[in-house]
Amino acid sequence: MEDNMQIRDKLYIGGEWVASTGNETVEVINATTEEVMGRIPRGTAEDVDRAVKAARAAFPVWSQTPPEERAACLQRIADGLKANSEKIAAVITQEMGMPYRLAQIIQVGLPTTTFASMPGLIKEVLFEEEVGNSLIVREPVGVVACITPWNYPLHQIAAKVAPALAAGCTVILKPSEVAPLNAFLLADIIAEAGLPAGAFNLVSGQGSVVGEALATHPDVDMVSFTGSTRAGRRVSELAAKTVKRVAMELGGKSPNIILDDADLPKAVKDGVGKCFLNSGQTCSALTRMIVPRSRLAEIEELARAAAATWVPGDPFVKGNTLGPLVSADQRETVRSYIRKGIEEGARLITGGDETPEGLEKGYFVRPTIFSDVRSDMTIAQEEIFGPVLAILPYEDEEDAIRIANDTIYGLAGGVWSGDPEHAKRVARRIRTGQVEINGGAFNPLAPFGGYKQSGHGRELGKYGLEEFLEVKALQLP
């Protein structure tokens, strides 16, 4: 597919497309061609202030809009996403590299589902209940800043913006400057959906400017942030100055325990896929495969065979299953981790830090698997965010659980066993926000979020909507 240069020279504030107060721009790079594919405004702190004022002015109107009317607006947004799905998927594939056919299903399908789920979820929320002589009411938290990443750009936007709007909050969105064009396409759709002016605002730019201005702004009531744990610490530090609510979805180093009674061919193939999806650029990727030492050689062969089915190449070409990484910096980061794994004594069984054959252009990395990885190795502890799998052998079940919990993260995980009840017992002992049982599918209505330094708060489903509500008690005579 040919690139079309996309120039977005305005921000969406107060129901209008307006010029930034600054005159600088950010270039958006096509991850496959390494060429400039678009430009967006490099927003300023003054732009943030304008957006916050617009959101604050819209809050009394939107928060008092009947829930069924808010639901109708959100359904219109879902309809707009569905109608423009091919265009949006193509943009996201160019921005960050996911193969186009998958981008249609995941990068656009999931956010469409999220917006479309809001009318039903609004009906599930108990906005009022009586407890003794008190009337307990749930009200929107206020003005919400949504700061989102590049790896599932529109999905992460929808996971924040849709429930915030459904709850009656007003929103300022700051998308990742690395993959922002999809956010502008969403804003085009929202502009036609009938929301009050200022209910939704878009300010693009650098995290160090726009993100920090939102986190510190005294009229922002809540920050919902997805990104690295390092950046999340910074947002929390800034938000604490005004004691605003913060929801965090941060990094992960998710364990995948394969018990010795599991269907090994099925478990290993699925586990490799859960690590390599989106070129490993997934916070919940199952990047640590924890396996019985007695079956290690067998599992290595299965993993090597599974990795061979992940074919790097142009994400618009059918049959290519592994697109590029998002940027040159990310590619070098991943390659440095591969070199670190070798230096620390992990055994490379496939892949490596060399450029994939025939792919000199584009930010491609070989699908890579290490075995005989120990928990004290860097590649077992730090989030790599690339197609790199670490296989860690265990001695017995207690050892497997110990290894699974031996990181600062706690976002996701998996357990495989021939006995589903046995798998559930092990899963209950893993300190993560989600655990797949025998490859159980991702559920966009189930709560998503982490333990430990993977963050706090939950997104998706009714749990995600409730994050944007305050609780008030009215004491009755």
Is the residue at 292 inside a domain? yes
- Claim to verify: residue 51 and residue 162 sit in the same structural domain: yes
Model pTM greater than 0.75? yes
Query: Catalytic: which of 146, 275, 283, 466?
Result: 283
Report the pLDDT value the prediction gives residue 362, as an integer from 0 to 100: 97
d(CA 466, CA 460): 10
User: How many independent structural domains does the chain possess?
Assistant: 2
- Claim to verify: residue 375 and residue 469 sit in the same structural domain: no
In this predicted structure, the answer to whether residue 2 has a pLDDT above a threshold of 80 is no
Q: What is the pLDDT of residues 386-402, one digit of tens each?
A: 999 999 999 999 999 99
Report the pLDDT value the prediction gives residue 75, as an integer from 0 to 100: 98
Q: What is the pLDDT of residues 232-242, one digit of tens each?
A: 999 999 999 99
- Claim to verify: residue 49 and residue 155 sit in the same structural domain: yes
Report the pLDDT value the prediction gives residue 213, as an integer from 0 to 100: 98
d(CA 266, CA 263): 6
Query: Catalytic: which of 73, 146, 169, 249?
Result: 249
Q: Where are the beta strands (DSSP E) in 219-346?
A: 222-226, 245-249, 255-258, 288-292
> Which of 4-8, 59-63, 307-311 comes out lowest in average pLDDT?
4-8
**Dihedral over Cα of 168, 169, 170, 175: its sign:** negative
In this predicted structure, the answer to whether residue 248 has a pLDDT above a threshold of 60 is yes
Q: What is the CATH number of the domain that holds 373?
A: 3.40.309.10
- Claim to verify: residue 106 and residue 13 sit in the same structural domain: yes
Q: Which residue reads 């896929």 in tokens?
A: 273
Report the pLDDT value the prediction gives residue 120, as an integer from 0 to 100: 96
Q: Is 301 a catalytic residue?
A: no
Q: What is the CATH number of the domain that holds 233?
A: 3.40.605.10
Q: What percent of the chain has pLDDT over 70?
A: 99
Is there a contact between 143 and 170 (Cβ–Cβ < 8 Å)?
Answer: yes
The answer for 436, left when phi > 0, alpha when psi is -120 to 50, beta otherwise, is: beta
- Claim to verify: residue 287 and residue 171 sit in the same structural domain: no
pLDDT band at 309 (very low <50, low <70, confident <90, very high): very high
Q: Which domain holds residue 137?
A: 6-250+454-475
- Claim to verify: residue 220 and residue 199 sit in the same structural domain: yes
- Claim to verify: residue 237 and residue 261 sit in the same structural domain: no
More confident residue, 281 or 1: 281
d(CA 460, CA 117): 9
- Claim to verify: residue 466 and residue 414 sit in the same structural domain: no
Is the residue at 449 inside a domain? no
- For residue 194, which amino acid is it? G
Q: What is the pLDDT of residues 187-231, one digit of tens each?
A: 999 999 999 999 999 999 999 999 999 999 999 999 999 999 999
Is the residue at 203 inside a domain? yes
In this predicted structure, the answer to whether residue 312 has a pLDDT above a threshold of 90 is yes
Q: Is 169 a catalytic residue?
A: no
- The DSSP element (H or E) to which 276 belongs, if any, is helix 264-276
Report the pLDDT value the prediction gives residue 10, as an integer from 0 to 100: 98
- Claim to verify: residue 228 and residue 332 sit in the same structural domain: no
- Claim to verify: residue 143 and residue 266 sit in the same structural domain: no
Q: What is the pLDDT of residues 347-391, one digit of tens each?
A: 999 999 999 999 999 999 999 999 999 999 999 999 999 999 999
SS3 of 167-228: HCCEEEEECCCCCCHHHHHHHHHHHCCCCCCCCEEECCCCHHHHHHHHHHCCCCCEEEEECC
Report the pLDDT value the prediction gives residue 242, as an integer from 0 to 100: 97
In this predicted structure, the answer to whether residue 156 has a pLDDT above a threshold of 50 is yes
pLDDT band at 1 (very low <50, low <70, confident <90, very high): very low
Q: What is the pLDDT of residues 65-108, one digit of tens each?
A: 999 999 999 999 999 999 999 999 999 999 999 999 999 999 99
- Claim to verify: residue 245 and residue 261 sit in the same structural domain: no
In this predicted structure, the answer to whether residue 4 has a pLDDT above a threshold of 80 is no
**Dihedral over Cα of 93, 97, 100, 106: its sign:** negative
